[in-house]
Structure 1
């Protein structure tokens, strides 16, 4: 075995030791423990979503698209924005939308000036599917509600900051949290919304604000 090959093996072993998924690394690094914990939570989310998707004969991304459309303004309900929202390619969203259209679950609106683009809304059948599936994350919510309110507020504060920082670093394409909004300011450690003209408590910070306007 060449010296170069030995170097690669040693480097590989070293990198494995530094992995957040290595239990030895987690023993002395809280950040690694949190990363591993978030990975477990993401698996729970996927399992719950798959269970609902199978019940109604749709794919997970199709369920996510329907639920998003149900609760967000129409200007966000188009292929380009949905691709950014779910961190997938436009062709992936287009295929999912095409399948939803064939099933009669959505309605395409070509009323914009560019007749090649369209916004998407729910049909009556689509609304019924949302009513039957948008509770898929409830088992997770039930467990969270058993935590003390102080722990929930602390956890929420950490998550909201993490989402904002992941967006600023380019890892997360879309976020609609107060921290990235043009209406948000911080005065002497006090969060403030210039749209609502009011101070914001930590529990008032939104992760998905309908009035969000990105700050550039």
Structure 2
């Protein structure tokens, strides 16, 4: 028990524990900002997250199965959220896929309006990053990208769309390289949510 990450004495001499506690604090800020926006429009946080995801991602990702993986919650929970949003007229169901039992989600005009009001919920967090030196920001981003990929490889994070797991990504001795863009990638070029992401076989 003394070795718990959340024991302040354990944190004193362990930088990894300090980082994890820091990430937990930031996740709390994320939840607070999301809740504040959700209350303003009369929706739950997960409903806001679904709407924002659908607004900015391709249609084949906007179905119950993928959304459950994306947000690490059960399909029934996603289905319940969609049912409420459908009744409110902020999403519509598209049954045009080959399997007519499944459907994807589209925003209605009312849903797009809500996204316009809520998609900036994390801006206060982004604003705090402006005071950090660019080199430090780039180092932080590099570490986060690699951590996200490792968590996915370990089965803890179910979905990732970062370059490291993409079929177009190649690591050379001197640089990272994207075969789709046909160019080397700087650390700042690495994407965490790439629209062109295709999972690498065996990744």
Q: TM-score category by the smaller chain?
A: over 0.9
Which residue number in structure 2 is paired with residue 73 of structure 1? 58
Cα shift at 1:146: 1.6
Tell which structure's C-alpha radius of gyration is larger.
1
- Where does residue 191 of structure 1 map in the other structure? 176
SS at match of 2:180: coil
Residue 104 of structure 2 corresponds to residue 104 of structure 1: no
Query: What whole-Å deviation, never above 9, does each CA across 1:154-211 have from its counterpart, x for those lacking one?
Result: 0000000000000000000000000000100011131000111010000000000000
2:99 to 114, 123, 133: 114
Q: Summarize deviations over 1:50-78 as a string: whole Å, max 9, x none.
A: 00000000000000000000000001000
Q: Does 2:108 align with 1:123?
A: yes
- CA deviations 1:111-149 (Å, max 9, x no partner) are 111111001110000000000000000010000122111
Aligned to 1:8: none
Q: Give the length in aligned residue pairs.
A: 201
Give 1:150's aligned residue.
135
Distance (Å, rounded) in 1 between the aligned partners of 2:183 and 2:130 = 27
Large movers: runs of 4+ above 3 Å: none
Name the CA distance, whole Å, in 2 between partners of 1:167 and 1:105.
32
Match of 2:46 among 50, 53, 61: 61
SS state at 1:108 partner = strand
TM-score, length-scaled by structure 2: 0.98
CA RMSD of aligned residues (A): 0.5
Offset at 1:107? 1.2
How far apart, CA to CA, are the structure 2 residues paired with 1:117 and 1:189? 45
Structure 2: gaps spanning 5 or more residues: none
2:70 counterpart of 1:85: yes
Aligned match for 1:179, one of 146, 157, 164: 164
> Partner of 2:106: helix, strand, or coil?
strand
Tell me, what secondary structure is at the counterpart of 1:17? coil
Match for residue 165 of structure 1? 150
1:194 and 1:152 mapped to 2: Cα distance? 26
Are 2:110 and 1:95 equivalent residues in the alignment? no
Which one of the candidate residues 14, 20, 25 is aligned to 2:10?
Answer: 25
